[in-house]
Amino acid sequence: MATESSDPEQPRLSFFGKSDKSTDEIDNAREPLLNGDHSLESYSVLSAIPPFFFPAIGGLLYGYDIGATSGATISLESAALSGTSWYNLSSVEIGIVVSGSLYGALIGSILAFTIADFLGRRRELITSSLLYLIGALVTAVAPNFAILVIGRVIYGMGIGLAMHAAPMYIAETAPSQIRGRLISLKELFIVLGMLLGYTVGSLEIHIVAGWRYMYATSIPVSLLMGIGMWWLPPSPRWLLLCAIQGKGNTEEARETAICCLCRLRGEAIGNSAPEQVDEMLNELSYVEGEKESSFRDIFEGKCLKALTIGAGLVLFQQITGQPSVLYYAATILKSAGFSAASDATRVSILLGLLKLIMTGVAVLVVDKLGRRPLLLGGVSGIAVSLFLLASYYTFLNNAPFIAVCALLLYVGCYQLSFGPIGWLMISEIFPLRLRGRGLSIAVLVNFASNALVTFAFSPVETLIGAGMLFVVFGVIALLALVFIYFIVPETKGLTLEEIEAKIL
């Protein structure tokens, strides 16, 4: 396979084995791209749904696990309802059951770093669906505590792979003009999964061994995900990247990528598929996609900038206190006199509905307003809500309506900003040849910081008090605003190749 000349004054070699364009010609050809003057991609709405829907089921299963586990632990601890002889679990053991999938997700994120580029986005999602299936089966039939934990960890590994591969597959296969909306919809699927988990938990909480049914409910869903991903084509961009890195014949990869793109776009693409694929090839040539990536490359140049943006966003997503604020939800609503606050599942459903609505709003406006306005506006609201909560727990204890308003403001603003936009940005900001590894690090940062906040919350709150803890979270939210304003770029309407060429 022809490779690019190392001499910048020599003509670049095309992917079809002949030197047909000089460096200047390629630079001139790319000028419209750098100015953002590209034609909109033609696509069929019906054809755009499956490449989003089946990967997004991975997010639904993640959310479902969060929701179902809240009811499953109640069932598991009950002498009358657990249906086991080992129901008398300690607080530590319950904590292990709850966090088992989180540990598995951390393992899955680490695995994704080494296997993602080899498997590709589609096969990684198929592997994820198998882990979901096996994990759910093992958990549902677990004869003892140890097997239950093993099942939870296996299921969590599926979460780690799914949350890594799903945004990549959606980003690389979606038309640029609706990419933000589709990736944000994946967050909607996570919230929908949580709501489904809370609902199933409340319906099956009174059934003997109901926790088994709660976990088993995800089995048919994981099968649907696996079958759907088996039917979908690979990512055309991944196919082309493999070919120009010497892992296949470039011409064959080009023809396969054209066929895949036609399936992804439907009849509306007409005869423009070859032209779009050739544009991808030219962009990969310009950004030196033919180089094999190494671990060191991730912390250099464009990828270091992308890693700073992506990992920074998902870090602030967690350390602005999202798990902690939701921890206080039942207490806040109960203090305000909400009768439903005594029922954890009903409170969760109420907040789940609010999260669903606000995520829906974000989905509708993300490709119109852009990423930065939603982040700046939403995180500003998060900061205000955190300082209001700090005030309530410090000197406004007789005004619980302030805490309720702050809670609802926090949940709503989070779902407008960090919730969907964090996952959207990490899926589109990394250079293609390092996207798999870079995104795996970002996902690892997300789950690791989630674990840190979750497990450090109780001792820190005991040490400094709830009011001061929310002040700390509020200050971190202000730092997040500074980070977003000065570091995070706007990617609205740009193709993935334009983001790499123009922003990084």
Q: How high is the pLDDT of residue 334?
A: 64
In a domain, 315, yes or no: yes
Number of domains in the chain: 3
Helix-strand-coil split of the chain, %, nearest 5: 80, 0, 20
Q: Name the strand (E) or helix (H) holding 437.
A: helix 435-464
Residue with tokens 């829907």: 53
What's the CA dihedral at 470, 454, 437, 263 to 10 degrees? Answer: -90
Q: Are residues 270 and 303 in the same domain?
A: no
Q: Are residues 339 and 308 in the same domain?
A: yes
> Residue 295's closest CA among 500, 440, 119, 158?
440
CATH of the domain at 450: 1.20.1250.20
Q: Are residues 363 and 416 in the same domain?
A: yes
Residue type, 328: Y
Q: Are residues 200 and 270 in the same domain?
A: no
Q: How high is the pLDDT of residue 162?
A: 94
Question: How far is Cα 331 from Cα 437, in angstroms, rounded to an integer?
Answer: 41
In a domain, 11, yes or no: no
Contacts 24+ apart (CB under 8 A), 400-403: 400/332, 400/335, 400/336, 400/337, 401/336, 403/332, 403/335, 403/336
Q: How high is the pLDDT of residue 368?
A: 86
Q: Are residues 152 and 204 in the same domain?
A: yes
Alpha-carbon separation of residue 284 from 22, 241, 243, 432, 436 (angstroms): 16, 7, 11, 8, 16
In a domain, 26, yes or no: no
Residue type, 422: G
Q: How high is the pLDDT of residue 341?
A: 38
Q: Are residues 144 and 262 in the same domain?
A: no
Q: How high is the pLDDT of residue 374?
A: 94
Q: How high is the pLDDT of residue 3?
A: 37
How much is the pTM?
A: 0.78
Average pLDDT, the chain: 81
In a domain, 445, yes or no: yes
Do 353 and 346 form a contact (C-beta atoms < 8 A)?
Answer: no
Q: How high is the pLDDT of residue 214?
A: 93
Q: Are residues 268 and 330 in the same domain?
A: no
Question: How far is Cα 401 from Cα 319, in angstroms, rounded to an integer?
Answer: 25
Low-confidence ranges of the chain (pLDDT < 70): 1-41, 284-295, 326-348, 504
In a domain, 333, yes or no: yes
DSSP H stretches of helix in 247-343: 250-265, 273-286, 301-319, 322-327, 329-335
Do 71 and 198 form a contact (C-beta atoms < 8 A)?
Answer: yes
Q: How high is the pLDDT of residue 31?
A: 42
In a domain, 90, yes or no: yes
In a domain, 461, yes or no: yes
Task: Supply the range of the domain harboring residue 197.
Answer: 45-232
Q: Are residues 482 and 452 in the same domain?
A: yes
